[in-house]
Amino acid sequence: MERARLETFVTVRLGATAAVLLAAPVFLLFAAPLALWQCLAFLCILSPFVAVLALMRGAHLRVAQAISIAGLFALALLLAFAEANGRIVAFSILMLAMLEAVSTGDKRFAVPAGAIAFVIFVALAIAPAAYFAPLSHQWLGAAMFAMLAYAAAIGWAAAHTNDVARFRERRETMRHEALAQTIGDLVLRQDRAGSVVHASQESVALFGLAPRELLGRGLFERVHVADRPAFLTTIVNALDSGQTTTCVVRMRRGALNDAGVPSAEPSFAWIEMRTRRIPSERRSTDPHDRASVVSIVRDVTRARHAEEEIRAAQASAEQANVWKDRFLANVSHELRTPLNAIIGFAEILGNEQLAPSEPVRSREYANIIHTSGQHLLEMVNSILDMSKIDAGSFDIVPEPFDLPPLLDQCCDMMGLKAGEGGVRLVRDYPHDFEELVADKRACKQIIINLLSNAVKFTPAGGTVTLSARPEGAMFVIGVSDTGIGIEACDLEHIGDPFFQAHHATTRAYEGTGLGLSLVRGLVGLHGGSISVESARGQGTAFVVRLPAHCVAPVRGVGAARIETMVRVGAGAAISNSHTNAVKKIA
Question: Three-state secondary structure along 323-363?
Answer: HHHHHHHHHHHHHHHHHHHHHHHHHHHHCCCCCCCCHHHHH
Alpha-carbon distance of 581 to 575, in angstroms, equals 12
| Ramachandran bin of 576, using left for φ above 0, alpha for ψ from -120 to 50, beta for the remaining angles | beta
* DSSP per-residue codes, 284-311: -S-TT----EEEEEEE-HHHHHHHHHHH
Query: So what's the pLDDT on residue 143?
Result: 54
d(CA 7, CA 110): 21
Nearest one of 290, 258, 286 to 271, comparing CA atoms: 258
Q: Please, which residues have CB within 8 angstroms of residue 227's CB and are 6 or more apart in sequence?
A: 247, 249, 250
φ/ψ bin of 302: left (φ > 0), alpha (ψ from -120 to 50), beta (otherwise): alpha
Number of residues that this document lists for the chain: 586
> Tens place of pLDDT for every residue, the chain, 586 residues?
677 777 777 787 777 777 777 777 766 666 666 666 667 777 777 788 888 888 888 887 778 877 877 777 677 666 666 554 555 555 556 555 655 665 665 556 556 766 766 666 666 556 655 444 444 444 444 555 555 555 666 656 666 666 777 777 777 777 767 776 777 788 888 988 889 988 888 888 888 888 889 998 999 999 999 999 999 999 999 998 889 999 999 999 876 444 545 455 678 899 999 999 987 644 444 544 566 888 999 999 888 888 888 988 888 788 777 767 766 776 776 677 778 888 888 888 888 777 887 888 888 888 888 878 887 887 777 777 777 777 676 778 888 999 999 999 889 888 878 888 899 999 999 988 788 899 888 898 899 889 988 998 899 999 999 999 998 889 999 999 998 888 887 777 676 655 555 544 344 445 556 778 888 888 888 889 999 998 888 889 999 999 988 866 655 556 677 887 776 654 443 333 333 333 332 2
Q: How far apart are CA 154 and CA 96, in angstroms?
A: 9
Taking the C-alpha atoms of residue 72 and residue 100, their distance in angstroms, rounded to an integer, is 9
From the number of C-beta atoms within 10 Å of its C-beta (0-12, 13-18, 19+), residue 424 rates as: middle
**What's the pLDDT score for residue 573?**
39
Cα 363 from chain centroid? Answer: 72
CATH 1.10.287.130 in the chain, residue ranges? 308-388
Give me the CATH code for the 184-299 domain, please: 3.30.450.20
CATH 3.30.450.20 boundaries in the chain: 184-299
CATH of segment(s) 308-388: 1.10.287.130
- Cβ(136)–Cβ(41) below 8 Å: no
Please identify, in words, the CATH class of the domain defined by 393-582. Answer: alpha beta
For residue 198, what are the β-bridge partners?
189
* Cα(530)–Cα(544) distance, integer angstroms: 5
Q: Where in the sequence of the chain do the CATH 3.30.565.10 domains occur?
A: 393-582
First-to-last alpha carbon distance for the chain, in angstroms, is 67
Q: Contact, 51 vs 27, CB < 8 A?
A: no
pLDDT the model gives residue 129: 53
Q: What gap in Å lies between CA 470 and CA 429, rounded to an integer?
A: 10
Cβ–Cβ under 8 Å, residues 153 and 12: yes
